[in-house]
Amino acid sequence: MIQTASINFRPDDESSMPLLANLIEFLEKNHIRVHLPEYDIIRGEAFYRLAVPRDQFVNGADLIIVIGGDGTFLRTARLFCGTGKPIFGINRGRLGFLTEFSPVEYPVYLEQVLQGRYATVERLVLEVALHRDGKEITSQCFLNDAVLHKGSFSRPIRLELEIDGNFFSSYTGDGLIISTPTGSTAYALSAGGPIITPTEARILLLSPICPHSLAMRPLIIPASSDFRARIASDYKNLLLTIDGQEVIGIDGKDEILIRQSHKNINLITHPEKNYFAILREKLGWG
């Protein structure tokens, strides 16, 4: 039974405030306790009384609601990763592959959710770990992709790839996109990768960025694989970007390890749309 909802939104999105106010009013009329993040943008608003500390915001809710585009959804998914809480996305972005409900229609479907009439799909989450001199420096979960790239360098970098302890390939190029099935419609799609149905797939997609070899093509491997990418170029200040939002500085000779995470995400699905209908709508297919 849903008793408390945490609402996340972009911390600088002034235009989402009227929608947020309407959403809070809707939830409170349905006797749902509301938690908001302690963002500066809502200071001075009447609903700032609902702001709670981070730990309570993350762990104290039965339902997570996102207002925004897919970027806000990705940030929210990483924040609540592993909690098992269902996430309901209200789209205020452009494409909205993840935020499936429009600001106009959300009250109808959210009311069904509050009554327990909803379905979720589990989305695969991967974890990227940075190793330097044989030690793990940091690790982070991602729902879309992790991108290893040359940053501001005009010269390409050289990468060595290993799968399950076996050398796979080496190539020179601008970098590498490691994508989940959910992220196959993001940067990987722009780099020439395939669209992968995300609901059941336990695979990851490797998409070279501008490789200096026509033979290097996108590759799909099981998510359970032990995948490693080593930077053979002796450069400094390269970048590892997580879901297009978190940036980690890396150096030549560093090693990137990708592993499947046990912290999956539960996404509330639109009852009248399937994944292919969303693809058709968002990509403008006839």
On the question of pLDDT at 139 being above 90, the answer is yes
Half-sphere exposure of 171 (CA within 13 A, CB side): 21
Dmax over Cα atoms in the chain, in whole Å?
60
User: Residues 183-224: pLDDT tens digits?
Assistant: 999 999 999 999 999 977 789 999 999 999 888 999 999 999
Please tell me what DSSP assigns to residue 262: S
Q: Is 226 a catalytic residue?
A: no
On the question of pLDDT at 26 being above 90, the answer is yes
Residue 166's pLDDT band (cuts 50, 70, 90)? very high
130, 133, 136, 142: CA torsion to nearest 10: 10
On the question of pLDDT at 54 being above 80, the answer is yes
On the question of pLDDT at 286 being above 80, the answer is no
Segment 167-173 mean pLDDT: 95
- Amino acid at residue number 249: G
Q: What is the structure's pLDDT at 66? A: 98
Q: Is 82 left (phi over 0), alpha (psi -120 to 50) or beta?
A: left
Average per-residue pLDDT in the chain?
Answer: 93
Segment 105-134 mean pLDDT: 95
Q: What is the structure's pLDDT at 181? A: 95
* DSSP secondary structure of 27-87: HHHTT-EEEB---GGGTTSGGGGGB--HHHHHHS-SEEEEEE-HHHHHHHHHHSTTS--EE
On the question of pLDDT at 154 being above 80, the answer is no
Q: What is the structure's pLDDT at 61? A: 96
Segment 68-92 mean pLDDT: 94
On the question of pLDDT at 122 being above 70, the answer is yes
Residue of 40, 70, 174, 251 marked active site: 70
On the question of pLDDT at 21 being above 80, the answer is yes
Q: What is the structure's pLDDT at 95? A: 65
Q: What is the structure's pLDDT at 23? A: 98
What does residue 22 show for φ and ψ, rounded to 5 degrees? -65, -40
Which residue's structure tokens are 């490691």? 178
Whole-prediction pTM value? 0.91
On the question of pLDDT at 25 being above 80, the answer is yes
Residues 63, 85 contacting (CB under 8 angstroms): yes
Q: What is the structure's pLDDT at 69? A: 92
On the question of pLDDT at 83 being above 70, the answer is yes
Give dist(CA 31, CA 14) in Å, integer.
26
User: Residues 28-47: pLDDT tens digits?
Assistant: 999 999 999 999 999 999 99
